[in-house]
Amino acid sequence: MKTLAPIILSGGAGTRLWPLSREKHPKQLLPLIGEDSLLQATIRRLDGLKGIKLNAPIIVCNEEYRFVIAEQLRIMDRKGTILLEPTGRNTAPALTLAALAAMREESDPVLLVMPSDHVIMDIESFQAAALKGMSQAMDGNIVTFGIAPDAPETGYGYIQSGELVGHDEAIFHIARFVEKPDLSTAQAYLDAGSYLWNSRLFMMRASVWLSAIGKCRADILTACQIAWDQGSVDGEFLRVDKNAFEQCPGDSIDYAVMERLSINNSELPAGVVIPLSADWSDVGVWDSLWQVLPKDDAGNVSRGDVLLNDCRNTLVISESRLAACVGIENMIVVETADAILVVHKDKTQDVKLIVDSLKRQGRSEGQLHRKVFRPWGWYDGIDFGERFQVKRIVVKPGAALSLQMHHHRAEHWVVVRGTARVTRNEEIYLVSENESTYIPLGTSHRLENPGCVPLEMIEIQSGSYLGEDDIVRFEDIYGRKKY
């Protein structure tokens, strides 16, 4: 039976979907369309694929996302390989590492490479295209999928389809890749009928990719091979060698290999494109999210506590309070606990400029939500001022924070729900609901949840410096290094 290994690339930051998407918790980890996150929806996209042995997915991600991704797999009751990139080097090195990992599990599976942040509504059409691509990949070709355009889109790259492959009316040789065009060029591509949007979905045998990247970018293959050979298994994560991978050049799959494929180049496999009509979107900007979500009779999309009056073609999302809009049209309004975005739909590409400005100013809103996820649970910074900070903390059953100490702050913990096991220097004791304890500055301490319900508590910090980098870790069950 043919074996398919899903490769899910989950390294993007999704800055144009700020303030929901943040650098430390990007769009692929968010439930933007339904109850599943975009990553979870990507994993489920192959469920029920017939006639194929489907391996567990290999998810290539930034180290920052590893615990959230592991938790999302656990919620789905799915197994998967989480392959950690020490630093971002673009998609070609990521796929090279994934191919090496796939061949560890199977001699030479076909890889289906999927970005983790796309939306595909028509699963049946997607799976039919994947099966067609599987046959081409088994023949040694490198396959990509082009989206049939319905508008002169300037936010996507394009693929020009060439001659038919054999007698199949739905598989074409790749004539060329082209960059994101201006509006008039995009209209010309749409009128020509031979151009498709570049979906960044690919299929090929693992050995075919490794051979192709070796011929096109031997420096990338060499660096990845060394990083892989010197890597290690860290619990449920695969780690490659940090120093070796940092020597790897960065490049995309398109630039490194796909644009070099030619039916006249006998040194490389053939590149083919399969048109795909499956209600696809890369939801890269707020306008594209509005397009794929269900709308009311006036073209509005609302989520959360939202009141609309005389509004049209507008997206309003509210996470923490009432959002009321009157008489607006073609607008995006997004409210979170710490930020509000208001932007015209024609300007959603420019949201990234706001994130860039936040970074230049050193503001945390570009990187983190007020609610921050950790492997043990999460915390929400609900108030702060000079020399104090208040957090709501939730610890999962059986989870534990690291054994740690702070140089500049003391902490007062009040248990609201559940039972806490507290280590304070040499003491170990329980704190129950409506009880509290005090952790003086410079005291080694640990917080654990020994119960079967989430532990909820309020933490009041006081001191001269309250930054998250004032943590000295002595022990940590999650393998995190001390700051």
What digits encode the pLDDT tens for the residues 247-284?
A: 999 999 999 999 888 656 678 888 999 999 999 998 88
Residue 460: Cβ within 10 Å count: 16
**pLDDT value at residue 262:** 65
418 or 150, which is more confident: 418
Number of alpha carbons in the 13 Å side-chain half-sphere of residue 255: 10
**pLDDT value at residue 168:** 67
Number of alpha carbons in the 13 Å side-chain half-sphere of residue 47: 8
Per the structure block, which two tokens stand in for 64? 């920052």
Query: pLDDT at residue 355 above 60?
Result: yes
- Cα 204 from Cα 209, distance rounded (Å): 7
Residue 479: Cβ within 10 Å count: 11
**pLDDT value at residue 264:** 62
Name residue 129's amino acid: A
**pLDDT value at residue 15:** 87
What digits encode the pLDDT tens for the residues 206-244?
A: 999 999 999 999 999 999 999 999 999 887 899 999 999
Give the end-to-end CA distance of the chain in Å, rounded to a whole number. Answer: 48
What digits encode the pLDDT tens for the residues 43-100?
A: 999 999 988 899 999 999 988 889 899 999 999 999 999 999 999 999 999 999 999 9
Which whole number is the average pLDDT over 280-309? 95
**Reported pTM:** 0.89
**pLDDT value at residue 416:** 97
- Whether the ω angle into residue 31 lies within 30 degrees of 0, i.e. cis, is no
- Cα 9 from Cα 282, distance rounded (Å): 13
Q: Tell me whether residue 136 is exposed, middle or buried, using C-beta atoms within 10 angstroms of its C-beta: 0 to 12, 13 to 18, 19 or more.
A: buried
Query: pLDDT at residue 28 above 90?
Result: yes
Per the structure block, which two tokens stand in for 65? 């996302």
**pLDDT value at residue 261:** 84
- Residue 458's SS3 state is strand
Residue 431: Cβ within 10 Å count: 19
- Residue 100's SS3 state is helix
- Cα 396 from Cα 455, distance rounded (Å): 7
**pLDDT value at residue 165:** 86
Mean pLDDT score of the chain: 93
Q: Which domains are delineated in the chain? A: 3-281 (3.90.550.10), 286-358 (no CATH), 371-475 (2.60.120.10)
Query: pLDDT at residue 483 above 60?
Result: no
The CA-atom distances, in angstroms, between 375 and each of 79, 331, 453, 466 are: 17, 36, 16, 21
**pLDDT value at residue 120:** 95
**pLDDT value at residue 20:** 95
What digits encode the pLDDT tens for the residues 409-423?
A: 999 999 999 999 999
Residue 400 backbone zone (phi > 0: left; psi -120 to 50: alpha; other: beta): beta
